[in-house]
Amino acid sequence: MNDQVIEQLNSLSGSLSIESIKDRLKEMIAIPSENPMAGEPRPGHREKEIGEYYLEQMSQLGMAVSSRDAAPGRPNVFGTRQGVGERPSLMLCGHLDTVPAEGYEQAYCAREADGRIYGRGSCDMKAGLACYLEVVRLLQEADVQLQGTLILCGVADEEWQMIGSREIGLNGPMADQCIIGEPSDLAVCPAHKGQHGLFIRTFGKAVHSSIPEHGENAIERMARVVTALSDYNAELASREPHPLCGHGRYSPGVIRGGDLVSAVPDFCELEIDRRLLPGDSAKSVRQDIEKRLESLKADDPGFRYEISDPSWDIPANDVPLDSPVVRSLLESSQLLTGSPVQASAFPGATDAPHLGSPAVVCGPGSLVQAHSLNEYVEIEQLTRATQMYLHAVFDLLA
Ligand SMILES: [Zn+2]
């Protein structure tokens, strides 16, 4: 950034209105947008209403707006502030849905106390969405002409199947760089592990349990499968770690088999969770499992198993540390906190790998409060997030 740009950035930072951010955040908390999860989308349990609100806000700020349904009642919404030149585009992206609020008293009455805003969605992630609007408000108010194009993007269904970001990955818009304001406590997270689930099934021969020697027990076979996989984490830990994500992980999560105690079960099913590193794939996971299970046939010629297609499949995310958006966020974080800042991995999986644009996670609020029955965001983090996003906008687009 040259001196003139820095001066303009500082001037806008000085005009930042925390009241405006808080008002937008409280208004958004008051619009229930629970993910319907496996149920039907319906008022309060879909993104339609919050999507309309966000479109209206972006439109009032002079953005060219549009929306596209990822499923009926479940829109992705977009706002574009066109640049005057050919410089890169930056997308500020966040999901519109929240997790359900069952058991959360007054989840949609936004409350301000102790320097925090409370309510469902306050940190995950309507705070990020509110900060994006303030960035655009500041640019609009000062009539700033940017070379590059700024895109705001509200996404459906992050909390379940991520149909919103998958749709954007297919149909755009694409951006040169993207920030996702998921609650990272404003840590700059260019990478995260992927989440991969699948079923392993074993088969047997059902007979009356009084003569088990005539049957083949699918549960006992599954016990051997579990044992065969018991050193899988040790093997993953022995592989080359990713600099930010560390090692992959394996966890057997759900097991089902048999339906009558007086019968030898002919079927058993185990669902496993595998946390992937950048570079891991469905194919490599399957190979790891097959390598362990094939050897079980030596002692049990009737041993038969099946590995399902992925029941859950979110790839890992990995944006280079030297990419402009990562460098810019690290720099502004360091400026604002006055201490050295390192990039880190985001603990959870996000929309990032689906978007088709390189995306870094950095947002206000903490994952400790996200999804809890006492969700909040620190107001100080709303200010700092907006300053960091504004810094990135000037750094990348001015
Ligand atoms: Zn989230």
Domain boundary among 314, 341, 371: 314
Angle subtended at Cα 144 by Cα 138 and Cα 148, rounded to the nearest 5 degrees: 110
Q: Are 176 and 357 in contact (CB under 8 A)?
A: yes
Q: What's the mean pLDDT when you consider all of the chain?
A: 96
Ligand 1 centroid, distance to 129 Cα (angstroms): 11
Q: 101 — phi, psi (to 5°)?
A: -115, 20
pLDDT at 290: 96
pLDDT range class, residue 1, cuts 50, 70, 90: confident
Ligand 1 centroid, distance to 56 Cα (angstroms): 22
pLDDT range class, residue 338, cuts 50, 70, 90: very high
How many CA atoms within 13 Å lie on the side-chain side of 396?
28
- Given a cut of 80, whether residue 87 has pLDDT beyond it is no
Ligand 1 centroid, distance to 352 Cα (angstroms): 11
Q: 50 — phi, psi (to 5°)?
A: -70, -35
pLDDT range class, residue 126, cuts 50, 70, 90: very high
Domain boundary among 283, 314, 345: 314
Ligand 1 centroid, distance to 334 Cα (angstroms): 24
Residues 239 and 354 in one domain: no
Residues 175 and 233 in one domain: no
Ligand 1 centroid, distance to 182 Cα (angstroms): 5
pLDDT at 99: 96
Residues 203 and 183 in one domain: no
Q: How far apart are alpha carbons 274 and 292 in whole angstroms?
A: 15
Q: What is the DSSP string of 242-295?
A: BTTTB--EEEEEEEEE-S-TTB--SEEEEEEEEEEPTT--HHHHHHHHHHHHHG
Ligand 1 centroid, distance to 70 Cα (angstroms): 18
Q: What is the DSSP letter of 81?
A: E
Residues 67 and 211 in one domain: no
pLDDT at 98: 97
Residues 376 and 390 in one domain: yes
Residues 365-383: tens digit of each pLDDT: 999 888 899 999 999 999 9
Residues 56 and 173 in one domain: yes
- Given a cut of 80, whether residue 35 has pLDDT beyond it is yes
The CA-atom distances, in angstroms, between 266 and each of 199, 289, 308 are 16, 21, 17
Ligand 1 centroid, distance to 369 Cα (angstroms): 11
CA–chain centroid gap for 258, Å, is 36
Ligand 1 centroid, distance to 95 Cα (angstroms): 7
Q: How far apart are alpha carbons 355 and 353 in whole angstroms?
A: 6
What would you measure as the largest C-alpha separation in the chain, in angstroms? 87
Ligand 1 centroid, distance to 159 Cα (angstroms): 7
pLDDT at 86: 76
Residues 142-161: tens digit of each pLDDT: 999 999 999 999 999 999 99
Residues 225 and 355 in one domain: no
Residue 112 makes CB contacts below 8 A (sequence gap 6+) with 22, 26, 118, 379
Residues 248-292: tens digit of each pLDDT: 999 999 999 999 999 999 999 999 999 999 999 999 999 999 999
Ligand 1 centroid, distance to 47 Cα (angstroms): 14
pLDDT range class, residue 242, cuts 50, 70, 90: very high
Domain span holding position 281: 195-314
Residues 306 and 385 in one domain: no
Ligand 1 centroid, distance to 259 Cα (angstroms): 38
Q: What is the CATH number of the domain that holds 231?
A: 3.30.70.360
Q: Are 325 and 178 in contact (CB under 8 A)?
A: yes
Residues 172 and 200 in one domain: no
Q: What is the average pLDDT across 289-314?
A: 94
Ligand 1 centroid, distance to 383 Cα (angstroms): 19
Proportion of the chain above pLDDT 90, given as a percent:
97
pLDDT range class, residue 138, cuts 50, 70, 90: very high
Residues 300 and 330 in one domain: no
Ligand 1 centroid, distance to 177 Cα (angstroms): 19
Q: Which residue has the tokens 């206000």?
A: 364
pLDDT at 14: 94
Q: How far apart are alpha carbons 65 and 71 in whole angstroms?
A: 19
Ligand 1 centroid, distance to 10 Cα (angstroms): 30
Proportion of the chain above pLDDT 70, given as a percent:
100
Q: How many domains in the chain?
A: 2
Ligand 1 centroid, distance to 32 Cα (angstroms): 15
Q: 333 — phi, psi (to 5°)?
A: -60, -45
Residues 125 and 235 in one domain: no
Ligand 1 centroid, distance to 242 Cα (angstroms): 23
Ligand 1 centroid, distance to 189 Cα (angstroms): 14
pLDDT at 283: 94
Q: What is the average pLDDT across 173-184?
A: 97
Helix (H) or strand (E) holding 80, with range, is strand 74-81
Ligand 1 centroid, distance to 236 Cα (angstroms): 28
Residue 231 makes CB contacts below 8 A (sequence gap 6+) with none
Q: What is the CATH number of the domain that holds 115?
A: 3.40.630.10
Domain boundary among 314, 333, 352: 314
Ligand 1 centroid, distance to 325 Cα (angstroms): 20
Q: Which residue has the tokens 């309510």?
A: 119
Residues 327-336: tens digit of each pLDDT: 999 999 999 9
Helix (H) or strand (E) holding 76, with range, is strand 74-81
Residues 30 and 112 in one domain: yes
Ligand 1 centroid, distance to 206 Cα (angstroms): 46
- Given a cut of 90, whether residue 295 has pLDDT beyond it is yes
pLDDT range class, residue 219, cuts 50, 70, 90: very high
Q: Are 363 and 186 in contact (CB under 8 A)?
A: yes
Residues 57-82: tens digit of each pLDDT: 999 999 999 999 999 999 999 999 99
Ligand 1 centroid, distance to 284 Cα (angstroms): 28
Ligand 1 centroid, distance to 285 Cα (angstroms): 26
